[in-house]
Structure 1
Amino acid sequence: DESTRKKNIALLFDINKTNYGMENALRQLEQMQLQNGGWSWFSGGPDDRYITQYIVAGFGHLHHLNVLANEEATMEMLSKAIYYLDDRIREDYEKLLKSKSGADKDQLNYTAVHYLYTRSFFPKISLAQENKKIIEYYQSQSRSYWNTQGIYAQGMIALTMYRSGDKKTAEAIIRSLKENAIIDEELGMYWKSNRAGYFWYEAPIEIQALMIEAFHEIMKDSALVENMKLWLLKQKQTNYWKSTKATAEAVYALLLHGNDEFMSEPSITVSLGKTLVDLSDSPTESGTGYFKKSWNASDIISEMGHIKVSSMNSSRSVSWGSVYWQYFEQSDKITNAATSLSIQKKLFLLGNTESGPMMELVTASTELNPGDVITVRIELHTDRNMEYIHLKDMRAAGLEPLNVLSQYKWQDGLGYYEETEDAATNFFIDRLPKGTYIFEYPLRVQLKGDFSNGITTIQCMYAPEFSSHSEGVRVKVK
C-alpha cells in the first residue's frame, strides 16, 4: 500500500543498505547469466534475447548517468552479454541472406532496432570484424526505412544514428516526431499513436521515456522535454506507474533533464458539490504534499459526484488525485471476467475405483476429508499472441501443494516457470501464442473447515491493464 511504498523509499537514503543492495543484485545477475552470455526470463528457461537486451540497455542508462557500480566486474558481465547479442544479430543476417527475400528491401524489425540502440551505449566494447558489415547493413536499413516504423523504433533509430555520427538522419527523425506530436496545455506533449498493446514494444510509458531521451540528447530543447515530462507524470496519477519496467524507464527519463519546476508545492482547493475539502483537517505530507480524505457510505450524496479542483497560485506545478469507491467482497463470490483472456478454474477429487483412477468434479455438495488429493485444473484461452504473462492461482488455507519446488517446465510446446508460494501458485509465461492451454497441479487436503479457494488471475506483467480473472470457488472439508 501507499505507506509501505513510502517506507521503501526511505530505505534508498540509507547509503550502506543501497550499496549492499546493488552489490547483491549484481551478484544475482552474474549467477543467472547463462554460458552463452544471455539471460532467461526465469532460471531454468532458455536464453531470452529481449530480456538480455533490456538488461544491457538498463546498464547503458546507468553508464550514461555515470552511476554504474563496480564498473570493472560489471563490464566483464556486460561484454559477455553484448557478444551474445552480436552473435544473434549475425544469425539473423545469415538467415536473411539464405532466405533470398531481398536484403535491399525493408528488413527492419523491433528486435534489430532495439539491438542497435542497446549496442550504442557501449561503443568501446569491440565488435568482431565479421559483425561490422552487419551493423552497417542494419544502420543503412535504418536510414532508408525509418519512416515506415512506429514512433518507438523511430526514437531508437534517431539515438543510434546520432551516436554513430549520422546527425542528419537523427535530426530528420526528430523533426518528423515533433511534427506528429500533440501538445496540450494540461497533458503536455505526447503522440496519439502511443497506445498500449500486448508486446514489449507497445508500452506507452517506456515509449514516452525514450522520446524524452531522444529529444534531450539530439535537440536539447528544454521546453519540449518539460512538456513530455508533464505527460509522463500525468500517467503516474495517484500511486505508481503500472510496472517496475515502466517505472525504471520513467525515472531514467526524468533524471536525464533535471528541473525544479515540478518541485514547487501548489496551493489547491477541492470541492465535491457543495462540500469543500478543508485541507487544515487533512494535513499534507512534507515533501510530497500528499493528503487523503475519507467518507463513510452514509455521508455520501449524489451531488458530491460534481468534483472541482482549483489552483490558488500561478506556478507551473503538477498535481493529481483521484476519487474512488472502495468495498470488500468474499473472493469466492467474485464472478468470471470476460476479456480477450479467459480463465476457468475447476477442482477435481482424485479417487480409485475398480476400473482405475477417477476424477470427480468438486462442487458445493462434494464431501472432502483430510488426506484427500485434489487436482487443480486451469483452462486458459487467449484470442491473440501475448508475451510475459503472470498467472496466479490462489488456494484455500486448508489445502497444501504437493509440488513444493519451483522450476521451469515445458508442456505442449509451452515453456513456463512454476513457483509455489504459501497462499498461491504462480506461472510465469514468456511467450503465449493464441490458443487454449491447460495447467494442472495437485493439492492435499490438510484441515477441516469451510474455506474460500480464491480466484485465478492473469496479467501481462509489463502491461498490467491487460488482465482477467476466474470466478471464486468455495471448499468444504468435513
Structure 2
Amino acid sequence: KLDDADLKKGLERSISTDIQFLIAGQNSDGGWGWWRGSESENWLTAYALLGLHEAREAGYAVPEDRLARATRFLERWLTRTAELQDNATLDTRAFILYALSESGNGDESRAVELFDRHTLLDTDGRAFLLMALDNAGEGQRPRVQTLASELTARAILSATGAHWEEQAPDLRAFDSSRRSTALVLRALVRVQPEHMLLPQSVRWLMIAREIGHWETTQETAWAILALTDYMRASGELKADFSYEVALNDKVVLSEKATADNLSDPVMLKVGIAELLLEEANELIITRVTPSEGQSGMGRLYYSAWLRYYLPVETLKARAQGISVARRYEAVDAATLESLGAAVSTAQVGDVVRVHLTVNAPNDLFYFTLEDPIPAGFEVMDPTLLTTSHAAEAPGRERLDPDDSPFWYDSWTQSVIRDEKVALFSDTLPRGTYEYSYLLRATVPGDYNVLPTFAYEHYYPEVYGRSEGSRFTITPTAATE
C-alpha cells in the first residue's frame, strides 16, 4: 500500500503507459520479442505475462485476450520442448511454469514431470520450480520441501552472509549470483519464513547493492520482490528503534526509525574536502539502546559509497572483456568520404566522421554501445529532409581475422538521440567491428568529450571504454 500521494500518482501513470506499450508490442503469435515486430522469445513472453497479470491484479485494465494469447504461446513452447534435456531448456521450463502458475494458469502435471528431472536444474531453475509447485497447493508439499532442502545445501556461507551461485551460468538467462540469491530468498520466504539462512541472505544482498540498486535491472527487480516478501514475513515493517552515525568521532546524524518513516530513506552526504587526507577516516553506525517505550524492533540497513570525478581528458581507455577505440576524421566536403586524417578541431559548419572500433574476444550477449555526442555537434541523420543527400546512414563493418571487411547486419537496433548514438545487438559474435556516423559542428567552443562505452547490458562488469578527450569548434567569419 502506497501512502506517498506523489509516488502513487507517478506509478499509476507509468504503469498505465507501460501496459499500453506491452499490448502494442505483442506479436500475432501471442509472444513478445526484444523490439516491436522482432521474433517472439519464450522467456520475454513469460515476463510480459507476469507483468500484465500483476497489473490486472492491482486493478489496472488489461484485456483478458492478451493474457490468454500469451498463455497459449507459452503452452505451445512447453509442448515443443518436452523432450529436450539440456540444462538451459529445463531451467527455462521451470521459469515458464512459474510464470503460468503465478498468472493462475499453473500446469501441475508438467511441474511434477520436471521435478522428476530436477537434478538437472541449476539454482535458479530449482527456485522457480519450487515456487511453481508451491502454487499448486498442499499436495506438492513433499516435493517443495525437497527442493528447499537442496537449495539450503547449495548456500555459500561467508563473513558477508549467505548467497547462491549457478553451477553452469547461462548468459542468455541473465544468471548472476545476485539474481540467484534473490530468487532463492523469495522461494524460501514463501515456504519457510523462519529459515535460518534468510537474514544472512538479506545481509548479502544489501551489501551487494551499488549506490541504491543492484548491477542490472534483472538483479534489481528480483531483489526488490524478494526483499519485499521478506519484510512482510519478518515483521520489519513494525520498526521502532534509534540509531546514530559518527564520522571521525563526531556524531553527524541521530535518527529514529518507526513504522511511519520506514519507507523514507535517510541520505547523508559529506564532501571529500571534509574528510581526512593523510589518515584513515572512521565511520561508525550504531543502534542506540532503546529508550523507554521503544520496542527496539526492526533492522537497520545502510550502505556507504565514495564517489569522485576526474577531468575527462585524463581518462584512459580501459578493457574489461571489450576494447573500444574512437577516432574523429576529416571528410571531403563534397562527398563526405573520410580523408583518413584524425582531427580534434573543426569550424562551425564542418562535417566530421566518427569512427568507432570494437574488439570482442568472446561472444557477447545483449551488447550495448553508447557514444556520447560532444556538445557543439549534432548528428547528421539521413532520415531527415534537412540532411545533405551525400550523407549515408551510419555504417557498420566487421573485420575477420584476415582483415577482409564484410557488412555485419545483425545489429538488433540502432538509435540516434540528442545526447548519444546507441547500438544494440542481442548476440555479438567474437570479432572486431567498426561503426561510423557523421557529425556537423554547430556551436563554437572548447568541449569535453566523454568516452565511448560498450558493455553487456545484463553483465556490466564486462565492458570497455575509449579514452576521454577534448574537441574545439572554432567560429567561421560569419559566426564571429
TM-score by length of 2: 0.78
Mapped to 1, the partners of 2:30 and 2:383 lie a distance apart of 26
Separation (CA, whole Å) in 2 of partners of 1:473 and 1:104: 51
In 1: Cα distance, 2:88 partner to 2:441 partner: 56
In structure 1, which of residues 334, 348, 351 is the aligned counterpart of residue 332 of structure 2? 351
CA 260–143 in structure 1, closer or farther in 2 if over 3 Å, else same: closer
Could you give the per-residue CA deviations for residues 281-311 of structure 1, whole angstroms, max 9, x where no partner exists? x999954361424245375233333444333
Counterpart in the other structure of 1:278: 252
Deviation sequence 1:53-81 (CA, Å, 0-9, x none): 22223345567xx425225x1x3212222
Which of 67, 75, 81 is equivalent to 2:70? 81
1:360 has 2:349 as partner: no
**CA spacing shift, 1:267–1:229, aligned 2, 3 Å:** same
The answer to whether the Cα contact below 8 Å between 1:241 and 1:247 also exists between their aligned partners in 2 is yes
2:360 matched residue in structure 1: 382
Contact 2:214 2:220 in 1 (8 A): yes
- Tell me the residue number matched to 2:478: none
* Corresponding position of 2:8: 13
Whether the 8 Å contact between 2:444 and 2:473 is mirrored in structure 1 is yes
Among 327, 346, 371, which residue is 2:309 paired with? 327
Alignment of 1:290-439 (within 5 A): 290-297=266-273, 300-313=276-289, 315-329=297-311, 331-351=312-332, 357-364=337-344, 368-403=346-381, 412-439=408-435
What whole-Å deviation, never above 9, does each CA across 1:432-471 have from its counterpart, x for those lacking one? 2332222222222223333333211123333334333111
What residue is the counterpart of 1:69 in the other structure? 60
After superposition, the Cα gap between the structure-2 partners of 1:10 and 1:442, relative to the gap in structure 1 and judged at 3 Å, is farther
Assess, with a 3 A threshold, how the Cα gap between structure 1 residues 225 and 353 changes in structure 2: closer, same or farther: closer
Give the structure 1 partner of residue 119 of structure 2: 147
**Structure 1 counterpart of 2:236:** 261
Distance 1:269 1:357, change over 3 A: closer
CA distance 1:204–1:60, change in 2 (3 Å) = farther
DSSP-derived class of the 1:466 partner? strand
Match of 2:131 among 144, 159, 162: 159
CA contact (8 A) 2:87 2:122 kept: no
Q: Offset at 1:175? A: 0.8
Q: CA deviation at 1:152?
A: 0.9
Q: Which runs of 5+ in 2 are unaligned?
A: 290-295, 385-392, 397-406, 475-480
Q: Counterparts of 1:175-214 in structure 2 under 5 Å? A: 175-182=149-156, 187-191=160-164, 198-214=171-187
Contact 2:329–2:338, Cα closer than 8 Å, also in 1: no
Contact in 2 for aligned 1:155/1:211 (Cα 8 Å): yes
Task: Measure how far apart 1:417 and its partner are.
Answer: 1.5
Q: Does 1:116 align with 2:97?
A: yes
> Structure 1 vs Structure 2: percent identity of aligned residues?
19
CA distance in structure 2 between the aligned counterparts of 1:441 and 1:115, rounded to whole angstroms: 41
What is the identity, as a one-letter code, of the residue corresponding to 1:174? A
Distance verdict in 2 for CA 1:416–1:275, change over 3 Å? same
1:52–1:349 Cα change, 3 Å: farther
Paired residues of 1:41 and 1:51 also in contact (CA < 8 A)? yes
Indicate conservation of the 8 Å contact 2:123/2:165, yes or no: no
Bigger fraction of residues in helix = 1
Deviation at 1:415, TM superposition (A): 2.6
SS in 2 for 1:236: coil
What's the TM-score once normalised by structure 1's chain length? 0.78
| Counterparts of 1:431 and 1:388, CA distance in 2 | 6
In 2 relative to 1, CA 192–220 (structure 1 residues): closer, same or farther, beyond 3 Å? same
Superposed CA RMSD in Å reads: 3.8
SS at match of 1:302: coil
Consecutive unaligned residues of structure 1, counting only runs of 5 or more, are 1-8, 97-102
Question: Aligned to 1:278, what secondary structure does the other structure show?
Answer: strand
User: In 1, Cα distance between the equivalents of 2:469 and 2:277?
Assistant: 35
1:428-467 paired onto structure 2 within 5 Å: 428-467=424-463
Shift in CA distance, 305/193, structure 1 to aligned 2, threshold 3 Å: farther
Q: Tell me by how many angstroms 1:421 deviates.
A: 1.5
Distance in 2 (alpha carbons) for counterparts of 1:145 and 1:394:
49
Equivalence for 1:245: 218
Cα contact 2:27–2:40 (8 A) shared by 1 = yes
Q: Which amino acid letter does the alignment assign opposite residue 73 of structure 2?
A: Y
Q: Flag the structure with more relative contact order, 1 or 2, with Cα contacts below 8 A and sequence separation at least 6.
A: 1
SS of alignment partner, residue 327 of structure 1: coil
Query: Aligned in 2, Cα 1:39/1:27: closer, same or farther, shift over 3 Å?
Result: same
